[in-house]
Structure 1
Amino acid sequence: MTFLGKQIRMERILNRNTGRTVIVPMDHGLSVGPIPGVIDMRNAVRKVAEGGANAIVEHKGLVKAGHRREGNDIGLIIHLSGSTSLSPFPNSKSLVCSVEEAVKLGADAVSIHVNIGDDNEKDMLKDFGLVSYEARTWGMPLLAMIYPRGEKIKDEYDVKFVKHAARIGDEMGADIVKVSYTGSPESFREVVSGCSVPVVIAGGEKMDSDQAILEMVKGSIDAGGSGVSIGRNVFQHRDSTRMVRAISLIVNENGTVDEALGILG
């Protein structure tokens, strides 16, 4: 029965026809405070829901301020881990919520963040294992955000590190893995081919060019990726609703970059 529950919840965060997804993470307030774009969470969620996003990611305390009471439906992914930019160990994530609490809050999925290569990697992996077990027990989909960040990591976008990160998510029982884009469809294909669950790309720092964002999205889809989990490049965009529509055109309708740019005007 938990498998059936997971299947039903997965359809709330993925496009059931394409098996792909457009996720907008809005969990930034815990790590860096109320930055532009997510100061008013209700408005932020409304805009991306109108654009057709499949799901958002937020922390447990803002479910009441950011989730739906009107307008388009949108999947709810509750983030279970966090740290702040003020910490001497900002890359060391701690569990701040449980799967059971997320179930009580009405989550459609949960997510966890792990930085491999960090001095506290062993603790984050231990937490990952615990969350993976609990998610499987509750029939709750698990999104794992995994990044190579540490002393041994010279370039966190290097395909050898990114494909290792994706495989860790797969090995640990995640249902969707979020990693950084490696810069080209050819290199990102290596990441996807080594992971048996859907792989989505992060958006990273705010970019100046709409075309660069959309080309990154298109490259990941051409490589066999399953969509995006892009935050600042969506919610800080001058028109986040249209940006979501443009990204969705590529992800869920196999549109071109030029067609997507046409939506943005």
Structure 2
Amino acid sequence: MTPHPTRYRLNRLFDARSGRALDVAVDHGFFGEPSFLAGIEDMPAVVATLVEAGPDAVQLTLGQARHLQAVPGKDKPALVMRTDVANVYGNPLDEHIFSHHVPFAIEEAVRLDAVAVCANLMQLPGRPQIREMNIRSLMALREQATRYGMPLMIEPLVMADNVKAGGGYMVDGDTAKVMTLVRQAVELGADLVKADPTDDIADYAKVIRVAGGVPVLVRGGGRVDDETLLTRTVAVLDAGASGIVYGRNIIQHADPAGITQALMAVLHRGVGVSDALAILRERSA
């Protein structure tokens, strides 16, 4: 049976032996939030560090993808391209909240030799219009992605009001809410799903099941300590996740290359938490 055309690109995202992927998200500047720039002010240097560290993919915007794709040779991370921009992370929030996709995103992703594109599906309390904007964007992207054989990664984000912080949104890890939005992403035609971990990580197998065979890559979210990050990574992989998409937990780490190596060992060699932490300790010795 002939593989679907999207499989050709996904073959460059997922490791051939483990079938898993580490995608390092460095698309934070797209969202216009000053705090998101910590650690990524110098994008050519950031991309150079990641290329040397060797994750499976780097997630960039159409304006920054050139730093990765200008690197010569075959042995470099694949490109996942972020296709939508929103202003939902501000603190305080802007009076007008929006989310829009780049109209020519799929053609641009083809020109940039991306292996997939990524777009949000957000559920924000009291803001149903944002979810509608996302659904309209995803339907438009799906039509073009099908035409060009470009895998579409949908990012379901269940958000809770960050009342204590005085504005902005934080992730809501309620299992039922995460499952429902992941399922909607699948129904909208996701080739890949990038989903948050659940508050009760033991529930993550339910998220994998509701995705119905569509590969689920787990978001990293805000910074946590190394042991917490690695423990959570092992747990979601054991639950059936096909990979991880981590950003700040790598690019804001004291040793981005080291944590990348530790995570790659967990994903592709089945290394446990203690051995992954040992990789980090050996690098700092």
Pairwise same-fold verdict (TM > 0.5)? yes
For residue 258 of structure 1, report the CA deviation from its aligned partner: 0.6
The residue number in structure 2 matching 1:50 is 52
Say which is worse superposed, 37-46 or 62-71, in terms of deviation: 62-71
How many aligned residue pairs are there? 261
1:88 maps onto 2:88 in alignment: no
The question of whether the paired residues in 2 share the 8 Å contact of 1:184 and 1:219 is answered with: no
The residue number in structure 2 matching 1:205 is 222
For residue 49 of structure 1, report the CA deviation from its aligned partner: 2.6
The question of whether the paired residues in 2 share the 8 Å contact of 1:51 and 1:243 is answered with: no
Aligned partner of 1:175 among 162, 185, 191: 191
The question of whether the paired residues in 2 share the 8 Å contact of 1:185 and 1:222 is answered with: no
> Where does 1:1-265 land on structure 2 (aligned, <5 Å)?
4-31=4-31, 32-33=33-34, 35-70=37-72, 72-84=75-87, 85=90, 87-90=94-97, 92-96=98-102, 97-117=104-124, 118-120=127-129, 121-149=131-159, 156-196=172-212, 197-207=214-224, 209-265=225-281
Cα–Cα, structure 1 residues 154 and 78, in superposed 2: closer, same or farther, change >3 Å?
Answer: closer
- Structure 2, unmatched stretches of 5+, are 162-168
Aligned with 2:46: secondary structure? Answer: helix
Cα–Cα, structure 1 residues 154 and 145, in superposed 2: closer, same or farther, change >3 Å?
Answer: closer
Q: Distance in 2 between matches of 1:55 and 1:139?
A: 18
Q: Distance in 2 between matches of 1:243 and 1:155?
A: 23
Cα–Cα, structure 1 residues 214 and 154, in superposed 2: closer, same or farther, change >3 Å?
Answer: closer
For residue 158 of structure 1, report the CA deviation from its aligned partner: 0.6
Aligned with 1:113: secondary structure? Answer: strand
Q: Which stretches of structure 1, 4 residues or more, deviate above 6 A after TM superposition?
A: none
The question of whether the paired residues in 2 share the 8 Å contact of 1:114 and 1:147 is answered with: yes
The question of whether the paired residues in 1 share the 8 Å contact of 2:220 and 2:246 is answered with: yes
Q: CA offsets, 1:177-234, max 9 Å, x none?
A: 0111114442011100111201111111112x10001011111001111110000000
For residue 150 of structure 1, report the CA deviation from its aligned partner: 5.8
Letter of the structure 1 residue corresponding to residue 76 of structure 2: D
CA RMSD of aligned residues (A): 2.2
Cα–Cα, structure 1 residues 76 and 70, in superposed 2: closer, same or farther, change >3 Å?
Answer: same
Q: Distance in 2 between matches of 1:82 and 1:188?
A: 28
Letter of the structure 2 residue corresponding to residue 260 of structure 1: A
Letter of the structure 1 residue corresponding to residue 222 of structure 2: E
The question of whether the paired residues in 1 share the 8 Å contact of 2:44 and 2:67 is answered with: yes
Question: Of the two, which has the highest radius of gyration?
Answer: 2
For residue 137 of structure 1, report the CA deviation from its aligned partner: 1.3
State the TM-score, normalized to the length of structure 2. Answer: 0.84
Cα–Cα, structure 1 residues 61 and 55, in superposed 2: closer, same or farther, change >3 Å?
Answer: same
The question of whether the paired residues in 1 share the 8 Å contact of 2:53 and 2:261 is answered with: yes
State the TM-score, normalized to the length of structure 1. Answer: 0.91
The question of whether the paired residues in 2 share the 8 Å contact of 1:166 and 1:199 is answered with: no
For residue 155 of structure 1, report the CA deviation from its aligned partner: 7.0
Letter of the structure 1 residue corresponding to residue 101 of structure 2: L
- Structure 1, unmatched stretches of 5+, are none
